[in-house]
């Protein structure tokens, strides 16, 4: 049926709405014109619509319907670096990334190709919505705007030391609505405490507050951030030394004496400069390092979320230093969503494999993992009213996954555990009611 007035009913053995019942058996979702009309059992939904108005689609045996997955943090434009940088310390990775990027020819073409391939790969893993960071704003957004995914495109800004004069130009580029569409919303990413001065952060936050433009910052990603904020020293200084050597200037010419210093650490630095007071949605990427008091500060802030990227965190060796405190964050009321970060630090863009890692390593509760890859990510990106759960009125974004467990154990926990442990590719993906698998992946 191609008539947009017709109703399609998807029928599955199990359905996880995320909000509401933990699981619905003998389940159905009715959708029309890209929106969900109703969710419930097949018996409940049948009979609601007139003859000839409905097309039923029964999925295979032992298939569960989930909301379309939401990747809260990624960098699609770095896809061209897949497998080119080995694991190790983050600073060494950055220095190598700079070398490889400098050797690229046409970055517009490279970024465009990486973003297009990243969209297709993401959909092929069941992801229908993502928060994407981009330095190459025009090149990335020209591809993202074509859809079909829903994307918040965070234009990255670096403005510190000798680069502070570029703040307004880079902010204008990040806020440019040239490529704004119904599927792509702009956001802004003040990159990190070691690339953005506090005054620049305050300016960015203020520019975004009026229109509730989403923000994303890498915060507490490195344990060396406090040392850099206090003295402009430590390992984080090394990439600046590499840049200054290439330019033939002293590092002090880039990291000049006008940069404010603080020994309060990155979380208090962000708080001081207004990041936790804005009405805009705020995504804190990683937060690999935070002490008890910093967690209390984050728990007391409004509208913020943490995007935890488990496999990238392991890639950079942070797990060997200390475990991530995502469970303590959740207990404190901090929203935690999962992300994949980039293909320069992760072998693929499978969000299920991020959840798989937590299930296997931490024996994480599958009912806790599910919102971390659906509802929490949508809310983190300011899209909770449209995505992340299966409910009437929301976009018809769904993915179907096969599961394997005995019929007598076909309960919510065992079905989800089967899906997370196997981390399969989806049987089918729908974005606003349109099937995607076999077309994009």
The answer, yes or no, to whether residue 199 has pLDDT greater than 80, is yes
Task: Give the per-residue pLDDT at 413.
Answer: 87
Q: Cβ of 52: how many Cβ atoms within 10 Å? A: 9
69's tokens: 């997955």
Radius of gyration of the chain (CA): 22
For residue 132, name the pLDDT band (cuts at 50, 70, 90).
very high
Among candidate residues 175, 180, 149, the one with its CA nearest the CA of residue 378: 149
Residue 411: pLDDT band by 50, 70, 90 thresholds? confident
- Report pLDDT digits (tens) over 204-239: 999 999 999 999 999 999 999 999 999 999 999 999
Please write the tens of the pLDDT for every residue from 414-435.
999 999 999 999 999 999 999 9
b/e code 203-229 from CB counts within 10 Å (16+ = b): bbbebbeeeebbbbbbbbbbebbbbbb
Of the pLDDT bands very low, low, confident and very high (cuts 50, 70, 90), residue 243 is very high
- What's the CA gap between 238 and 93, in Å, rounded? 11
Residue 104: pLDDT over 90: no
pLDDT in tens, 168-179: 999 999 999 988
pLDDT band per the 50, 70, 90 thresholds, residue 440:
very low
Higher pLDDT, 50 or 74: 74
What is the Cα–Cα distance from 179 to 176, expressed in whole angstroms?
8
Residue 438 has pLDDT above 70, yes or no: no
What mean pLDDT, rounded, does the chain reach? 94
Q: Give the pLDDT band (50/70/90) at residue 323.
A: very high
Distance, C-alpha 209 to centroid of its chain: 21
Angle at 311 between CA 422 and CA 290, to 5 degrees: 130
Banded model confidence at residue 1, pLDDT cuts 50, 70, 90: very low
pLDDT of residue 32 exceeding 60, the answer is yes
Predicted confidence band of residue 2 (pLDDT cuts 50, 70, 90): low
Q: What is the pLDDT of residues 260-281, one digit of tens each?
A: 999 999 999 999 999 999 999 9
For 172-193, what is the mean pLDDT? Answer: 94
How far apart are the C-alpha atoms of 223 and 226, rounded to whole Å?
Answer: 7
- The whole-number pLDDT of residue 429 equals 98
Angle ∠(431,80,324) on CA atoms, nearest 5: 75
User: Across the chain, which distance is largest between two alpha carbons, in Å?
Assistant: 77
Average pLDDT over residues 311-331: 97
pLDDT band at 406 (very low <50, low <70, confident <90, very high): low
pLDDT of 408 above 60: no
Residue from 212, 213, 222 nearest 189 by CA: 213
β-bridge pairing 335-338 and 282-286: unpaired
Predicted pLDDT at 103: 76
DSSP letters for 235-281: GGGHHHHHHHHHHTS-HHHHS-TTS---SSHHHHHHHHTTTTT-SS-
pLDDT above 90 covers a percentage of the chain that reads: 89
Q: In the prediction, which pLDDT does 237 show?
A: 96
Q: 37 and 30 in contact (C-beta within 8 Å)? A: yes
> Percent of the chain, pLDDT > 70?
97
**pLDDT attached to residue 3:** 65
pLDDT in tens, 389-400: 999 999 999 999
Q: C-alpha distances in angstroms, 209 versus 197, 213, 280?
A: 18, 6, 6
Interval 174-203 mean pLDDT: 95
**Exposure string over 397-415, b if 16+ CB within 10 A, otherwise e:** bbbbbbbebeeeebebebb
In this structure, how many other beta carbons lie within 10 angstroms of the beta carbon of residue 104?
12
Q: Which residues are CB-neighbours of 250 under 8 A, at least 6 positions away?
A: 244
pLDDT, position 441: 36
Query: What angle separates helix 137-144 from helix 167-175, to the nearest 10 degrees?
Result: 10
Tokens for 306, please give them: 């943490």
């Amino acid at each position: 049926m191609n008539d947009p007035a017709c109703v399609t009913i998807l029928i599955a053995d199990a359905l996880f709405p995320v909000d509401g019942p933990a699981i619905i058996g003998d389940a159905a979702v009715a959708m029309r014109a890209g929106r969900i009309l109703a969710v419930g059992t097949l018996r409940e939904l049948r009979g609601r619509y007139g003859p000839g108005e409905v097309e039923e689609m029964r999925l295979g045996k032992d298939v569960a319907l989930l909301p379309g997955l939401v990747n809260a943090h990624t960098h699609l434009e770095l896809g061209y670096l897949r497998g080119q940088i080995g694991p190790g310390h983050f600073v060494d990775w950055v220095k190598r990334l700079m070398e490889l990027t400098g050797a690229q020819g046409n970055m517009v073409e490279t970024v465009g190709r990486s973003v297009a391939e990243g969209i297709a790969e993401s959909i092929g893993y069941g992801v229908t919505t993502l928060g994407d960071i981009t330095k190459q704003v025009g090149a990335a957004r020209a591809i993202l705007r074509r859809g079909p995914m829903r994307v918040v495109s965070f234009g990255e800004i670096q403005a510190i030391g000798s680069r502070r004069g570029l703040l307004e130009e880079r902010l204008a580029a990040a806020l440019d609505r040239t490529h704004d569409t119904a599927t792509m919303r702009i956001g802004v990413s003040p990159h990190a405490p070691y690339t953005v001065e506090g005054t620049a952060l305050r300016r960015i936050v203020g520019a975004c507050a009026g229109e509730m433009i989403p923000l994303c910052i890498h915060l507490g990603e490195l344990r060396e951030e406090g040392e850099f904020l206090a003295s402009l020293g430590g390992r984080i200084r090394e990439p600046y030394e590499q840049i200054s050597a290439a330019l033939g200037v002293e590092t002090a010419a880039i990291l000049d004496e006008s940069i404010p210093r603080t020994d309060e650490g990155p979380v208090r630095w962000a708080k001081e400069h207004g990041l936790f007071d804005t009405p805009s949605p705020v995504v804190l990427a990683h937060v690999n390092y935070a002490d008890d008091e910093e967690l209390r500060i984050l728990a007391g802030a409004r509208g913020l979320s943490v995007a935890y990227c488990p496999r990238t965190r392991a890639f950079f060796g942070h797990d060997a230093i200390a475990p991530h405190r995502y469970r303590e964050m959740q207990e404190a009321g901090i929203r935690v969503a999962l992300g994949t970060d980039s293909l320069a630090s992760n072998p693929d863009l499978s969000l299920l494999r991020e959840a798989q890692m937590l299930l296997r390593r931490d024996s994480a509760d599958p009912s806790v993992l599910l919102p971390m890859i659906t509802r929490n990510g949508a809310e983190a990106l300011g899209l909770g009213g449209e995505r992340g759960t299966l409910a009437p009125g929301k976009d018809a974004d769904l993915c179907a996954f096969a599961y394997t467990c005995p019929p007598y154990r076909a309960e919510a926990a065992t079905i989800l555990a089967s899906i997370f442990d196997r981390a399969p590719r989806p049987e089918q993906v729908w974005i606003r009611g349109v099937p995607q698998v076999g077309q994009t992946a």
